A and B are shown apart, each in its own frame.
Chain A
């Protein structure tokens, strides 16, 4: 069993799972104690939701090579499905409605993945746009989905798991963190399994994959299903844990692009990359905006500041992509190797 992401550093100092375990220990043990409500509500919750969506899209685009612009639609499908399961099935536990929501998103993913059997690259991307517009249209058109709410906005239900309320900022953070951890772990197992290698084979050369006996049709649809499942659950986190309210417009094409940028900037075909990318996309604009407001808030009004932040952000992303086209993951790995090297040579 050869590892897919081969690590060339010849000196395995610590087992591979050390860093994730330490990170998790920090996230569960330390962050809830020291974090402010701003940290949870404005940074960590959107980071977790978008990071998970990035993991989902990375399975489809990064590993299986199928470009999709419908991520926001699958998020919306997950969010609205979870809302409706929770509302309409008495006594269904929260976890149950989340899993069912993921399955609904997966089903929609398979449906809109069908064109991938004939289409590739940009053509496939355009056809997944259909998912984006169709889902948003359906959610707006049929008010049943939003329980006939006058304005089409749904309120998230109370979060509780076996009677234990998770409505506070920390509770919602732990709820989101747990789901993200479990799904990320499963995604990691998936991409290092035979199925994951099938994905990569199809991405790298579909004809060759077919010749060595990989069922291309089944594998592509499986990639769509798994990816949509994860993105759907990310939508539930976005709706239930982060914003606590949802309107279909919150899942527009911009969100799909945002998720695509997350995996491009973070690093394609990398689970960690999705989280690196999400961190950059979520935190960096906030950091810029706060820095701008802090330094120049008295001089310019918020409109001018916001415009200049966009310019700075855009320029930095272009610069970054030129200097590091393989994404933050490559940057991280190189930095780590250099540090290790420096440490060894002393």
Chain B
């Protein structure tokens, strides 16, 4: 019996080795390796985001027959948001030909991939998150924290709080508590809050909630003692509803809590019930299913029974819409690169060039059916974020309502800090700063 199980194990590993040799991609296919997570504490974010992404790729395949005839393909590898699994998935999926870009949706995994994707010359997209200084394309040629890097997000939140207080000069003497997730993602903004506090004269207290964050009594008692004017919730997954519920328990007013871009979804507020009513959060993409592109996905993709979300009521939710926006950005980057290099399967480096010339102004966004879903993007070879705009939405107990205009973060203030950090990284790693000419040299096979 035990001997049998050894044989079984041997057979399994043999099967594994066989499946390493994946078939090569078709001549006119572009492949997306999806390191997704559908189980574990962050499954809500994973299923929504990757659901939206896959729905958009499906829309392009069904409606347009691919991008200029190049069919989009993908497969999923479960990471559970864990770094080792992400690395394993990377090694597993990279043997597939025609990879366009990596989208792991995890700061930890993204960090572990930077050296690897740079050697392999395939772009790494960290939409709305990621390593802030990877915005500097001179040092990180293949990393793109598209739309919103963590520093821009912080600047947007502080500007919003200032507008609530009646102007940036009114921030003086105010007190802000940042409650952050105990992970690389959560810690990313600690220095920028300190810096903005110094610059604008408010005091900031930053409190960590250990991963995954389902117990926050002591943190909120500290907050009650500190009596801050605002609390910024920099959460992720289960930490968010727990924070809102605990805030009510200790008597902190929920309309003075501002959520960051990963604390802004339906999945964060619905489990908190009434405790979330009046909670405000930043976003780069509005929620709702009234936008033409979302409607088309409902009609074309879900109509054909190919929708990715099991729960149809999540169509148009914040994570689903972010996945759709991420799909738009990836597909449009391929389109840009195809105009330059030809309507065929592109190399990773060609797609990188596409991302570096990805410019969607509001008119183009409207043409894509995404007017008001997101504002615009303007990526260049040295600015890999692309100047995304943010807006704020408030939860009324049933849905999110937009409560601000599109706000521009203070990019001019942030750029020197980002460059300094990127240059320090380059010095540590012995990286030569890239120039515009280097960016135009593209590996085409």
- Which residues of A line the B interface, CB within 8 A? 36-38, 41-42, 46, 140, 150-153, 155, 158, 242-245, 247, 249-250, 280, 283-284, 286-291, 293-294, 297, 301-307, 316, 319-320, 323-324, 331, 335
Contact = CB atoms under 8 A, between A and B. Distances in A.
Nearest to A244: B115
Contacts of A280: 9
Given A287-B13, A302-B38, A153 B184 contact: yes
A335 B10 CA distance: 15
Given A153-B108, A302-B38, A302-B76, A41 B87 contact: yes
B343 to A, nearest CB: 28
Contacts of A151: 107, 111, 131, 184-185, 187-188
A42 B112 contact: no
B296 interface: no
Given A37-B91, A301-B38, A244 B112 contact: yes
Given A38-B20, A38-B91, A243-B87, A303 B2 contact: no
Given A41-B87, A150-B189, 5 more contacts: A38-B92, A247-B184, A249-B182, A289-B78, A291-B12
B39 interface: yes
Nearest to B43: A303
B80 A306 contact: yes
B203 interface: no
A150 B87 contact: no
Interface string B116-137: 1000000000000001100000
Contact of B38 (A153, A242, A306): A306
Contacts of A305: 78
Contacts of B76: 301-302
Nearest to A305: B78
B3 A335 contact: yes
A291 B95 contact: no
Interface of B: 1-3, 5-6, 9, 12-13, 15-16, 19-20, 36-39, 43, 47, 75-78, 80, 83-84, 87-88, 91-92, 95, 107-108, 111-112, 114-116, 131-132, 182-185, 187-191, 208, 211, 308, 421, 428-430
A132 to B, nearest CB: 13
B83 A286 contact: no
Contacts of B6: 331, 335
Given A42-B91, A303-B47, A335-B3, A243 B77 contact: no
Contacts of A307: 39
Q: Name A's interface SS.
A: helix
Nearest to A328: B6
Nearest to B189: A150
Contacts of B87: 41-42, 242-243
A165 to B, nearest CB: 12
6 contacts: A42-B91, A151-B111, A151-B131, A243-B83, A290-B92, A291-B16
Q: Name B's interface SS.
A: helix
Given A291-B12, A302-B36, A320-B5, A286 B88 contact: yes
Which of A155, A242, A320 has the most chain B CB atoms closer than 10 A to its own CB? A155
A150 B2 contact: no
A298 B132 CA distance: 36
Which of B3, B16, B107, B429 has the most chain A CB atoms closer than 10 A to its own CB? B16
A259 to B, nearest CB: 14
Contact of A150 (B5, B190, B308): B190
A253 to B, nearest CB: 12
Nearest to B132: A150
A302 B40 CA distance: 12
B2 A324 contact: yes
B1 A153 contact: no
Contacts of B91: 37-38, 41-42
Contact of A303 (B38, B88, B114, B132): B38
A256 to B, nearest CB: 15
Given A153-B111, A284-B9, A247 B19 contact: no
A150 B421 contact: yes
A67 B370 CA distance: 58
A84 to B, nearest CB: 14
